[in-house]
Amino acid sequence: MEAGTLYICPTPIGNLDDITLRVLNILKEVDLIAAEDTRHTLRLLNHFQIKKPMTSYHEHNIREKGPYLIQQLLEGKSIALVSDAGMPGISDPGQDLIRLAIEEGIELVGLPGPSAALLALVISGLPTEKFAFEGFLPSKSTDRKKALEGIRDERRTLIFYESPHRITSSLQDILDILGDRQASLSRELTKHYEETIRGGLSELLSISQDRNLKGEMVLVVSGAEEAEPEEVDIKNELRKLVEGGMSRKEAVKELVRVRGVPRNQVYQESLDLD
Ligand code: SAM
């Protein structure tokens, strides 16, 4: 018996009109839809008057459901994989099933479509030639800072997914570790209250503190500067701040904030101050 095909189907991230004609056709044609949340996907199917058997495929049942779906494919069924929103496999379930399908030699067809990361990057106005998708930063500040230390020297534009509950503390940590870089925060993309705020990280932080931003959001941050700031300037500027009455710690913080120089570099320079 000929094995079926696994179709990777992106779905809208807000505006239902963003579904593609090809995805609609595939959803109508397949034998089974594997959905991250079947109730969520049912609303999408109802909107487009599609009736199809569905089964759940989410982070808590991947181990059992993966082999089950592969078995269905090997028995000749065609399956469409969808997540709640956007591209399956991008901060959503999908990668394990895709790997299993490849291992089994099952035909795999991916369809293009919405993904919040790429849309936010393109409208950020920041360089798009090279970029790094970082997904969600860790929720605990200590882990988050450690993760940020690891990408401090990354030159490519950085893309982060973030939740409204954590955006203010994340912005604070990103500012502290990466310095006051240019950034762009897009929330509720393609939805009624869509908004993109562009500016320095310190500006975004104060807006986030003032406005208690809500909804789904993507933060895009420019990569590390190519030219390292001159050593002598940092030291001189630190000295001036200290002579002006600041403690060394305060002077380091101020310089990171004002000049956008990586914190560690300023801190190292502060150790050599007379
Ligand atoms: N697979 C999805 C994709 O391709 O974009 C991402 C799924 S991930 C679980 C959900 C996160 O994506 C949200 O927390 C938010 O960071 C981002 N996101 C999804 N939809 C969005 C939207 N309409 N506007 C802004 N960010 C969005």
pLDDT of residue 156: 98
Q: In the block, which residue shows the tokens 């001036």?
A: 240
**Which ligand 1 atom is at minimum distance from the Cα of 114?**
4
Domains of the chain, first to last? 5-110 (3.40.1010.10), 116-221 (3.30.950.10), 234-270 (no CATH)
The closest residue, in CA terms, to atom 8 on ligand 1 is 91
Ligand 1 centroid, distance to 36 Cα (angstroms): 14
Q: Is 38 in the pocket of ligand 1 (CB under 6 A)?
A: no
pTM given for the model: 0.83
The closest alpha carbon to 269, from 228, 219, 213, belongs to 228
Q: Is 160 in the pocket of ligand 1 (CB under 6 A)?
A: no
pLDDT of residue 97 exceeding 80, the answer is yes
Q: Is 18 in the pocket of ligand 1 (CB under 6 A)?
A: no
Ligand 1 centroid, distance to 82 Cα (angstroms): 14
**Which ligand 1 atom is at minimum distance from the Cα of 161?**
16
pLDDT in tens, 35-61: 999 999 999 999 999 999 999 999 999
Ligand 1 centroid, distance to 217 Cα (angstroms): 7
Ligand 1 centroid, distance to 215 Cα (angstroms): 10
Distance CA 45, CA 38 (A): 10
For the four alpha carbons of 242, 245, 251 and 254, in that order, the dihedral sign comes to negative
Cβ 162 vs Cβ 170: under 8 Å: yes
Residues 6+ apart with CB under 8 A from 152: 177, 178, 224, 262, 264
User: Mean per-residue pLDDT for 199-220?
Assistant: 97
pLDDT in tens, 111-152: 999 999 999 999 999 999 999 999 999 999 999 999 999 999
Ligand 1 centroid, distance to 272 Cα (angstroms): 45
The closest residue, in CA terms, to atom 19 on ligand 1 is 116
More confident residue, 256 or 215: 215
Ligand 1 centroid, distance to 269 Cα (angstroms): 40
pLDDT of residue 230 exceeding 70, the answer is no
More confident residue, 228 or 43: 43
pLDDT in tens, 63-73: 999 999 999 99
Q: Is 139 in the pocket of ligand 1 (CB under 6 A)?
A: no
What confidence category does residue 228 fall into, taking pLDDT thresholds of 50, 70 and 90? low
User: Mean per-residue pLDDT for 227-241?
Assistant: 74
Q: Is 11 in the pocket of ligand 1 (CB under 6 A)?
A: no
Ligand 1 centroid, distance to 116 Cα (angstroms): 5
Distance CA 12, CA 114 (A): 6
**Which ligand 1 atom is at minimum distance from the Cα of 14?**
23
